[in-house]
Structure 1
Amino acid sequence: MNRLNDKGFTLIEMMIVMVIISMLLLIAVPSVTKNKSVASSKGCEATVKLIQTQVRAYELENSVLPTDLETLKTAEYIDTTTCPDGGSLVYDETNGKVTSN
């Protein structure tokens, strides 16, 4: 039986492919996890800016700063009082400034 005409991969060829795939994963996985943390922090920054804008909108409509973030939520200016990554937001009622922890 002549096996020279059989189509397929040898064990060495399969091992080479596996090594190449492993090296690509070693490069890609750290980049993806780093990008996730960067995106999460940017999401919190965007939330702070959005809520800060809503504080000003509330102030323009009511001629007074909101007493806290829950006031904005109750009045349906905002949907949440936390960052997308679960971090908390801090509101200073004296000047209407919103920051993240």
Structure 2
Amino acid sequence: MNNEKGFTLLEMMVVMLIISVILIITIPNITKHNSNINTKGCEAYVKMVQAQVQAYQMEKKKLPTSLKDLIDEGYLKEDSKGCPNGKTIIIDSEGNVVVEAGNT
């Protein structure tokens, strides 16, 4: 019988158990922080759009009526529809960028 070096089945099962426990602990933390990341991303996006509204107002001497005005004039990209968390943003009559309250 050859004396070959290698892992036994028991050693491999212990390693798999340890890896599984680590995954069970880390995956819920990642998903919990995902909503926080999306919220922060939405806040940053709103600030960026607000800056574009101000640039539009300084250049055109009027407020944009919607995001479409900013997209048409090249202040925002064509695919700029809303926040990373799926919420829609709007420009109110005073030029403030807000997250729509009715959208989840």
TM tier, smaller:
0.7 to 0.9
Aligned to 2:89: 89
Instruction: Please identify the structure whose Cα radius of gyration is greater.
Output: 1
The DSSP-based 3-state class of the residue aligned with 2:97 is strand
Q: CA RMSD in A?
A: 1.5
Once the 2 structures are TM-superposed, how far is the Cα of residue 57 of structure 1 from its aligned partner?
A: 0.7
Q: Equivalents in 2 of 1:14, 1:88: separation in Å?
A: 49
> Identity rate of aligned residues, in percent?
47
Aligned to 2:24: 26
One-letter amino acid of the counterpart of residue 89, structure 2? L
Kept after mapping to 1: 8 A contact 2:42/2:85: yes
Kept after mapping to 2: 8 A contact 1:70/1:81: no
The DSSP-based 3-state class of the residue aligned with 1:45 is helix
TM-score by length of 1: 0.85
Aligned to 1:50: 48
Once the 2 structures are TM-superposed, how far is the Cα of residue 81 of structure 1 from its aligned partner?
A: 3.1
Instruction: Report the count of equivalent residues.
Output: 98
Q: Equivalents in 2 of 1:27, 1:53: separation in Å?
A: 40
Once the 2 structures are TM-superposed, how far is the Cα of residue 33 of structure 1 from its aligned partner?
A: 1.6
The DSSP-based 3-state class of the residue aligned with 2:71 is helix
Q: Which runs of 5+ in 2 are unaligned?
A: none
Aligned to 2:13: 15
Once the 2 structures are TM-superposed, how far is the Cα of residue 91 of structure 1 from its aligned partner?
A: 1.5
Q: Which runs of 5+ in 1 are unaligned?
A: none
